[in-house]
Structure 1
Amino acid sequence: MYRPNILKQRLKNGEKVFGSWNVLASAFATEVMGYAGFDFIIIDHEHGVGDMTTLGHQFQALSGTGTTALVRVPSHDSAYIRRTLDLGAAGVVIPSVNTAAEARAIVQACYYPTFGSRGAAPGTIRASGFGAEAGLYARTANEHTLVICQIETVEGVNNAAEIAAVDGVDMIFVGPYDLSASAGFMGEMNHPEVVALIEKAEAAAKQAGKSLGSILRPSVSLKEVYERGYQMISTGSDSTRLRAACLADIAAFRQATAADAA
């Protein structure tokens, strides 16, 4: 059923939130992560393996938990954004936003008229309980939709002030890995030139009064990044967490049986 976007309200209140990425498109893995207690999960349709059917199952899996479901869409395609929101996403993460014009088009795709131009079918979509709460959804969807623009190119950083100033953009999410690649230092997220670009994007978001989000860079702690003014940090994913747990168990097994092998 339709529920208020608690995550968006917490961000408006200035709270700090913590979450994870999800790339495996497994409803069961998503449910496990929800019950673990993450504030939000970003289901990744840019690099993940899911489709609209698996996405719907993942939303269903999270509906019994306190975790908010966000989706990183694969592009700026307004139809994909609309379908994602209609299915029940509390918000969308848009990759590689490079100009204010792009940000304005994204806002148009995310919000109902008159603020935006999102196509409306509240009587039939899952987001409104398949019409059970059509009137409430139509009146409040704009208020509860979270719009997050990723800055992850040099062009995007250079236009970050204008992007952040666009009405309807709730958060600037800095993507340090892609930004390092765009700057010519792929993977060197702590390179001085990359750090300078990150700091420029941070300053633009703060100047516009928008929330800041990102992932953790190597050697930067959660405490440090929150102290820099970030409100939303998303680390790891279902795949990396599963792999890390498997590797830890295998290492423990090998250590325990090393004497036998000697």
Structure 2
Amino acid sequence: MAAATSLSHLLLAPKPRTHPKPRTHPNPSRLPSRSGASATPLPRRRRLAPAISAAASDLLSPAPSLKSRLAAGDTLYGLFLLSFSPTLAELAALAGYDYVVVDMEHGPGGIPEALACLRALDAARTPAVLRLPEASAVWAKKALDLGPAGLMLPAVESPAAAVEAVSHCRYPPRGVRGAAHPIVRASAYGLDDSYLSRCEDDTLIMCQVETAAGIAEIDAIAAVDGVDVVQMGPLDLSASMGYLWDPGNRKVRATLREAEKKVLEARKKKVAAALDGNAAYLGGFAMQNDPPEQLKLRGYHMVAGAVDIAMFRKAALDDVKRFREAVMEIGEEGDDEEGEKEEKENDGYWSE
């Protein structure tokens, strides 16, 4: 089982403990009493190994990486975190999402806020993907140094742009990532000696294809070495096609379906024939007109089905609606006689 790129496999792993050498007595079976007289022999104590529960054993074992789970054929379900709330990040992890995308493109937070969310997700053993504001070397460097499980790079429109995006995530000579590995969080501040040997293989690189120009090049983008996932962007795609107010337009849906088929078929051919070269997995966002279950049935490998703010918005609106409707029902159905009867029945309990 491959170790997770996130720091949970290091932060939660049991560390060897060193104990001072115990002081010994020349004859430990007979220790002197406080009065100086010889005491009776002390019974030998059996040293019991501490029992570790199954849950604790799972907690301390290495967590599988997103790449290893995709390779095993798992369909991963994720949540987008726009609030930058560590509490909601932790709750999402405990709820069972396979990954959480901390969205620095549209969310209000930056690197410090993302770091707090990563710590909450690592503690709950859930991989974090950071979505960058732009596909640049500066943002990729700062994000990777935090130690996420993956990066999502927006608005990749050509194979050349995909090659450049991948280079931002690799150290020289394969890329241009700045090197501060002895001191950054990604390497456990230099305590993880294996970081350099595995970081580029473990980090999931997701390129968003979300414009008409990108869709036209999607075959070539998915074939670029280092692109692990092609992430479809239906909302931006609809805007680029002139349907900002109509993301469910049939032309947008037809374009999206055609692009999906190209990525999925390329992946199937590579797996079936053990072909050389890259063939990216397919990732996507659920929409009101295209729920996550449908994406799963169409063969998507990674599905982002929820957004924390949208979930809270819906729950809040439903809560207020229930209260308002309940107040109206009480006002319509209640009358004075029933109220007086209830007061008499409760006279023995309530006091003024």
Question: Are residue 108 (structure 1) and residue 178 (structure 2) matched?
Answer: no
Which gives a bigger RCO, structure 1 or 2 (Cα 8 Å, sep 6+)? 1
Question: Are residue 228 (structure 1) and residue 298 (structure 2) matched?
Answer: yes
Residues matched between the structures, number: 261
Question: Are residue 85 (structure 1) and residue 155 (structure 2) matched?
Answer: no
Contact 1:100 1:162 in 2 (8 A): yes
Give the letter for the 1:79 counterpart. Answer: V
Contact 2:8 2:123 in 1 (8 A): no
Alpha carbons of structure 1 residues 204 and 116: separation in structure 2 relative to 1, 3 Å? farther
Question: Are residue 238 (structure 1) and residue 308 (structure 2) matched?
Answer: yes
Question: Are residue 171 (structure 1) and residue 229 (structure 2) matched?
Answer: yes
Q: Deviations over 1:115-169 (max 9, x none)?
A: 3332222210101111110x21111001110000111100000111111110000
Question: Any gaps of 5 or more consecutive residues in structure 1?
Answer: none
Identical amino acids, percent of aligned pairs: 34
Alpha carbons of structure 1 residues 5 and 149: separation in structure 2 relative to 1, 3 Å? farther
Query: Residue 145 of structure 1 is aligned with which of 172, 190, 203?
Result: 203
Distance 1:225 1:63 in 2: 27
- Structure-1 residue corresponding to 2:128: 69
Q: Deviations over 1:8-42 (max 9, x none)?
A: 21112221011111111121221122211111111
- Structure-1 residue corresponding to 2:349: none
Contact 1:2 1:137 in 2 (8 A): no
TM-score scaled by length of structure 2: 0.71
Distance 1:235 1:251 in 2: 24
* Mapping of residues 243-254 of structure 1, within 5 Å: 243-254=313-324
Structure 1 window deviating more from structure 2 (161-170 vs 211-220): it is: 211-220
Contact 2:81 2:307 in 1 (8 A): yes
* Mapping of residues 163-202 of structure 1, within 5 Å: 163-202=221-260
Structure 1 segments of 4 or more deviating over 4 A? none
- TM superposition shift of 1:218: 2.8
Contact 2:286 2:306 in 1 (8 A): no
Question: Any gaps of 5 or more consecutive residues in structure 2?
Answer: 1-6, 10-62, 268-279, 333-352
Q: Deviations over 1:93-122 (max 9, x none)?
A: 111110111100011111234433322222
Structure 1 window deviating more from structure 2 (95-104 vs 19-28): it is: 19-28
Structure 1 window deviating more from structure 2 (204-213 vs 93-102): it is: 204-213
Query: Residue 203 of structure 1 is aligned with which of 258, 261, 266?
Result: 261
- Structure-2 residue corresponding to 1:161: 219
SS of the equivalent of 1:63 reads helix
Contact 1:5 1:90 in 2 (8 A): no
- Structure-2 residue corresponding to 1:41: 100
Which is helix-richer, 1 or 2? 1
Contact 1:88 1:127 in 2 (8 A): yes
- TM superposition shift of 1:194: 0.8
Query: Residue 190 of structure 2 is aligned with which of 124, 128, 131?
Result: 131
Distance 2:184 2:64 in 1: 17
- TM superposition shift of 1:2: 5.8
Alpha carbons of structure 1 residues 223 and 29: separation in structure 2 relative to 1, 3 Å? closer
Structure 1 window deviating more from structure 2 (141-150 vs 10-19): it is: 10-19
Give the letter for the 1:171 counterpart. Answer: V
Alpha carbons of structure 1 residues 27 and 62: separation in structure 2 relative to 1, 3 Å? same
Contact 1:82 1:119 in 2 (8 A): yes
Distance 1:81 1:89 in 2: 11
Distance 2:237 2:307 in 1: 20
